[in-house]
Amino acid sequence: MSMKTDTAIVLKTQEFVKLKLANAEGGHDWFHTLRVYNNALRISKTEQVNLFVVELAALLHDIADSKFYNGDDTVGPKIAREFLFSLNVDSLIIEHVIRIIENISFNKSIDNSTLFVSEELKVVQDADRLDAMGAIGIARAFNYGGYKNRAIHNPDIRPNLDMSRAEYKASTAPTINHFYEKLLLLKNQMNTRTGKLLAEGRHAFMESYLKQFYSEWQGKS
């Protein structure tokens, strides 16, 4: 049995994810994963975590997002488990990484269906949430909306602030609504000190973006 170092395993995982996400939607591609990975490393500096678990979970968290698999949220964990098993990663580490992938999603927090929590999950979740905010978050939201042929904005369709998890997953609302249904809620859901700090600036940017958006929409600026 080959004994790979943690660094070698992380590098192999990066290669694997890069290949796997070669044709992914622009907001959920390898560069999203890389930003989440970098955010996670940064946040980890002020947290007590197993860095190896954080790195693997950040790299594998969107390997097969259920949004792109007809809502099936078992595909990602399965691919991740088989991949890590093939590299002889310790089984306790594998199980922890899988738990993180299974529980990281925003839609899990909607009806409190999150059954697992760990410091490592908190770090990767904050890293992923940060990438849904600010200038990058705005770009990703509109890219996803375009990918799904959604309207940019429709003043006749109000945001729905108490959707069930199923309703959230099935929503076809305009992309501006997604700001109120998710993006602007993230700031108060951050888990870590560094996450909270970085979220402040990104949140403020989204608010000023929306202000300008409505001003232009109404022909006022």
Footprint of ligand ADP on 12-31 (CB under 6 A): 27
Q: Rounded distance, CA 75 to CA 196, Å?
A: 31
Footprint of ligand ADP on 72-131 (CB under 6 A): 105-107
The answer to whether 39 contacts ligand ADP (rule: CB under 6 A) is no
Cα dihedral 62, 67, 72, 73 sign: positive
Quick one: angle between helices 30-44 and 6-20, nearest 10? 150
The answer to whether 182 contacts ligand ADP (rule: CB under 6 A) is yes
Q: Rounded distance, CA 33 to CA 23, Å?
A: 14
Q: Rounded distance, CA 213 to CA 77, Å?
A: 38
The answer to whether 62 contacts Ni ion (rule: CB under 5 A) is yes
The answer to whether 203 contacts ligand ADP (rule: CB under 6 A) is no
CB 53 within 8 A of CB 120: yes
Q: Rounded distance, CA 188 to CA 199, Å?
A: 9
List Cβ neighbours of 56 (8 Å cut-off, separation of 6 or more): 9, 10, 13, 84, 89, 93, 97
Residues binding ligand ADP: number (CB under 6 A): 15
CB 95 within 8 A of CB 105: no
Q: Which DSSP letter does residue 87 get?
A: T
Q: Work out the number of other CB atoms within 10 angstroms of the CB of residue 200.
A: 12
CB of 133 to ligand ADP, least distance (A): 8
The answer to whether 128 contacts Ni ion (rule: CB under 5 A) is yes
| Residue window 142-181: x/- pattern of binding to ligand ADP, with contact defined by CB under 6 A | --xx-------------------------x---x--x---
Residue (81 or 182) nearer to ligand ADP, CB:
182
CB of 61 to Ni ion, least distance (A): 5
CB of 136 to ligand ADP, least distance (A): 9
The answer to whether 33 contacts ligand ADP (rule: CB under 6 A) is no
Residues binding Ni ion: number (CB under 5 A): 2
Which run of H or E residues covers position 140? helix 134-147
CB of 6 to ligand ADP, least distance (A): 27
Positions in the binding site for Ni ion (CB under 5 A): 62, 128
> Residue numbers of the site for ligand ADP (CB under 6 A)?
27, 65, 105-107, 132, 137, 140-141, 144-145, 171, 175, 178, 182
